[in-house]
Every structure is written in structure tokens, then in C-alpha cells.
């Protein structure tokens, strides 16, 4: 038979419950990745202009790169044509991809899920809106390729 009083046992149970709650509560703390997603899902739609030559804060660079609140973000999972393309076709597709990404991001709230940095120091991220990954919109419209580990030819050799 235990020699502990009921009050002592109740105190231990309460302390354990409090510690468990504190641990559970700590595990739900928002990481920077979650904060970004929560801020954007809250219903805020941001106007995303095309970046100019001045200071870049929130704008679209090209079909797979944006600045968002002063952070340069390279969207993951797809690759859009380069604005300084190897041929006229690539440059035109790049212009269209840039405008389309701008339209998609400016049309409704989106979430940003950060996944580290690339070799150029840009944040790697996936951006989603009510339709899912915004990269899939550009891929479906022929304005981007699914990323397969290397850039693909846009000049139609």
C-alpha cells in the first residue's frame, strides 16, 4: 500500500498535467513558415506589381521568382523561362509567365511555405492559393515546366 497522501498524489497529477499542457502548448508554437501561411490565408489579398529597377519589396521578378515583404523567394517545383532567353520564343514565354504569375498572386490570398534557401541565398518556397500550388497553373498553361533537376529548352529545337 502506498504511503502517499491523496493530496500529494493529486498535486503530482496536477503538476504532470500542467507540464504536459506546457509541452503540448510549446509544440504548437508557430514557426516562421507557419506564421507566413497564417498571415496570407487570413484573407488578405496583396497587389503584386512587376518589379522595377528600384528597391524591391513586394513584386514579381519573373515567372518563378518574387519579392514578398522584402524577402526574395524562388518558387519550388517548377521552372519558368528566363526573361533574357536564348531565343525570342523563350523571352516571350517569360514575359507571359511573369504576367500570369502576377495575375494569379494578385487575384486572391495565398500562403507561402518556406523550405530553406537556394545557393543564391533566395528563400525556396511553395505558394498556394484556393486552387493549390500556383506553379501548377503556369505548368498547365505551358508557361513553366515541372522541375526535373535541370533547366529545359524553351526554344523548341
* Domain locations in the chain as residue ranges: 1-30, 32-146
For the purposes of burial, counting CB atoms within 10 Å of the CB of 32, is it exposed (0-12), middle (13-18) or buried (19 or more)? exposed
Distance CA 74, CA 40 (A): 17
Distance CA 33, CA 40 (A): 11
Kindly list the averaged pLDDT for each block of 10 residues, start to end, along the chain of length 157. Answer: 54 46 34 42 76 92 96 96 90 96 95 95 96 95 90 80
In the block, residue with C-alpha cell 493529486: 10
pTM here is 0.72
Fold held by 32-146 = OB fold (Dihydrolipoamide Acetyltransferase, E2P) (2.40.50)
Distance CA 136, CA 127 (A): 10
Predicted confidence at residue 151, as pLDDT, reads 81
Amino acid at each position: 500500500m502506498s504511503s502517499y497522501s491523496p493530496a500529494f498524489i493529486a498535486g503530482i497529477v496536477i503538476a504532470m498535467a500542467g507540464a504536459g499542457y506546457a509541452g503540448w502548448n510549446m509544440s504548437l508554437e508557430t514557426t516562421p513558415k507557419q506564421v507566413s501561411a497564417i498571415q496570407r490565408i487570413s484573407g488578405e489579398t496583396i497587389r503584386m506589381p512587376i518589379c522595377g529597377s528600384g528597391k524591391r519589396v513586394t513584386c514579381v521578378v519573373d515567372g518563378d521568382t518574387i519579392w514578398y515583404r522584402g524577402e526574395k523567394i524562388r518558387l519550388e517545383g517548377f521552372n519558368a523561362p528566363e526573361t533574357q532567353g536564348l531565343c525570342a520564343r523563350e523571352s516571350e514565354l517569360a514575359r507571359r509567365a511573369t504576367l500570369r504569375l502576377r495575375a494569379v498572386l494578385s487575384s486572391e490570398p495565398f500562403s507561402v511555405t518556406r523550405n530553406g534557401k537556394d545557393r543564391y541565398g533566395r528563400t525556396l518556397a511553395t505558394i498556394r492559393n484556393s486552387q493549390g500550388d500556383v506553379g501548377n497553373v503556369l505548368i498547365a498553361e505551358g508557361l513553366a515546366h515541372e522541375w526535373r533537376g535541370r533547366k529545359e529548352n524553351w526554344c523548341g529545337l
